[in-house]
Structure 1
Amino acid sequence: MKDLAELLAIAREAVEVGYRLITTSGPGVVREKGDRDLVTDLDIQVQQHIRAYLEQATPDIEFLGEEDGGGELDQTAERIWVLDPIDGTSNFAHGLPICAVSLALVERGESVVGVIAAPFLGLRYHATKGGGAFVNEKPMRASSNDDLGRAIIAIGDYAVGDGAAEKNDYRRSVSTALVENVERVRMIGSAAIDLVWVAEGRFDACVLYSNKPWDTAAGVLIAREAGAIVADTAGVPHDFSSGTTVAVAPGIASALWPLLQKRS
């Protein structure tokens, strides 16, 4: 059985496959797969190429990709690759450079390898469980900021589709609470980049209102390995059963949690 160092090398090369495709190809046909939820020909092509590489390099490891229709993560699986071929498809389809390839290796419900690359920004992130977090080969740490009023906090996209109105009532209340208490709020449209920018200290926190495994599996590991606290909006330690995803610099965590509670 391959060790984490070997699996990290495989994951990094797999993500490079996607990196090269994204930087040398256009989106192709853009379609809706749900209410205002886009998929491009290139999303599917990147997933197919990465999956083929992984199946050849690690034929014994299962695979879950967003563009296979999603689905539930089997948390009992010994090992499973979890891929978002282009996180931030709407950005990519509109020519915005904030998007990423996100790949994690999950062992029995816990991420142990995480690799994220932002092709148009020239940024490559990776981490292994217990091995620290790195950007472009340099170690990185979450922000040391301990003043909420000086914090830059990213928030996830507002909801679309069924039940969006009710979900967005809560999201707007959180946005209002943040706007009134932090230096700035940002919405960039890529959960993977939100998480690694907390890991890198560019953001002091990110608040994501969902927990799809392909969106969070790699970024949560990278953020934790960089020293961020990762929990849900109630402050409960994050896992794949969590409904939401929050990564926060330790110095502002206690001040942030009360702002994330549901309001009538």
Structure 2
Amino acid sequence: MTDLSDLLRVAAAAVDEAAALVKDMALEAVEAKGERDMVTNIDLAVEDRVRTFLGRETPEIGFYGEEGGDAGATGRPLTWVLDPVDGTANLTHGIRLCGVSLGLVRGQEAVAGVIDLPFLDERYSAGRGLGAFAQGQQLRVRTPGRLDQAIVGIGDYAVGLNAEEKNKQRFALTQLLAEEVLRIRMLGSAAIDLCWAASGRLDACIALSNHPWDMAAGVVIAREAGAVVMDLDGSEHNLSSSATIAVTPSLQAPLINLLARLESSPSSATPVVGDAS
């Protein structure tokens, strides 16, 4: 099965099961998986359910999950990439800004994705060349004329290894944006940032990281809604980029100029999963 429309239907069915688990399953266990990072019984149950479902429905496609890593992704031309709960910290604190993010990757490019925000009853999906949709309506970005009219989402500050050094760049970004844009928002979920940029609730979102499970689905949704999705230097985004930035085209040039004022710091990019051929 290689038709994107067919694969999107499979992805939607997988995410149906995942979203129901997130919404209905009791939070019973929270375990540390690094400094100020965590995994819950819900994350693990969702990933197991989706891996099993996709292994049955699309055995020819690899799978890579945030919690379990590579499950037959290496050497495959297509790979499913899952974040079972994007926004786990929000979930554990009763903040309902979280979602299931399932992307489909070919080489270094995200080509399809489905994101469900179960506590907001919102579903986003897109395939390359097929458009982006939410609740049956096609998505288009907003077109503000100036940065001072824009609401910009930013990714979480870094935790764990080298967090102090990485956060120097994140703090600098926050300061630059605070001086230029209408408002800054930190929602705690890359999936929501990218979906809301696609729907016009945000005019740009900036994450100085690029984990494929966080970004794959949202990148194709934002791009198909008309956003420019780029790396920190303004080049086209792919899964090897150091940052993930989605911006409405009318603000691309001024945002690139602002980002050029950032000092460099260690990258948070993650190696691409699957076959890069």
Aligned equivalent of 1:235:
234
**TM superposition shift of 1:233:** 1.4
Distance, in Å, in 2 between the alignment partners of 1:263 and 1:45 is: 40
1:7 counterpart SS class = helix
Give the CA deviation at 1:112.
Answer: 1.7
> What residue is the counterpart of 2:249 in the other structure?
250
SS of 2:42 mapped into structure 1: helix
Aligned Cα RMSD in Å? 1.5
Report the CA distance between 1:2 and its aligned residue.
3.9
Count of aligned positions:
262
TM-score by length of 1: 0.96
Q: Which amino acid aligns with 1:196?
A: C
- 2:131 is matched with 132
Match of 2:258, SS state, is: helix
Look up the match of 1:24.
24
Match of 2:219?
Answer: 220
Please, which runs of 5 or more residues in structure 1 have no aligned partner? none
Alignment-derived partner of residue 40 in structure 1: 40
Matched, 1:263 2:263: yes
Q: Which range is displaced more, 251-260 or 127-136?
A: 251-260
User: Which residue number corresponds to residue 52 of structure 1?
Assistant: 52
- Pair 1:187-2:174 in alignment: no
1:125 counterpart SS class: strand
Matched with 1:174 is 173
| Corresponding residue number in structure 1 for 2:5 | 5
Match of 2:201 in 1: 202
Contact 1:77–1:109 (Cα < 8 Å) also in 2: no
Write the distance in 1 (CA, Å) between the matches of 2:105 and 2:263.
35
Provide Cα deviations, 1:175-220, integer angstroms capped at 9, x if missing partner: 0000010000010100011001000000000000110000000000
**1:24 aligned partner, one-letter code:** D
Counterparts of 2:106 and 2:22, CA distance in 1: 28
User: Partners of 1:67 and 1:263 in 2: how far apart?
Assistant: 32
Note the residue ranges of structure 2 that are not aligned, 5 or more in a row.
265-277
Query: Matched residues in 2 for 1:195 and 1:70: separation?
Result: 24
Aligned to 2:272: none
Q: Sequence identity, in percent?
A: 48
TM-score by length of 2: 0.91
Between the aligned partners of 1:108 and 1:212, the Cα distance in structure 2 is: 15
Distance 1:124 1:150 in 2: 27
Q: 2:90 maps to what in 1?
A: 91
2-structure distance, mates of 1:131, 1:256: 27
Task: Answer whether contact 2:113 2:220 (CA < 8 A) is retained.
Answer: yes
Match runs of 1:131-150 below 5 Å: 131-150=130-149
Distance 1:204 1:52 in 2: 37
Distance in structure 2 (CA, Å) of the matches to 1:86 and 1:198? 19
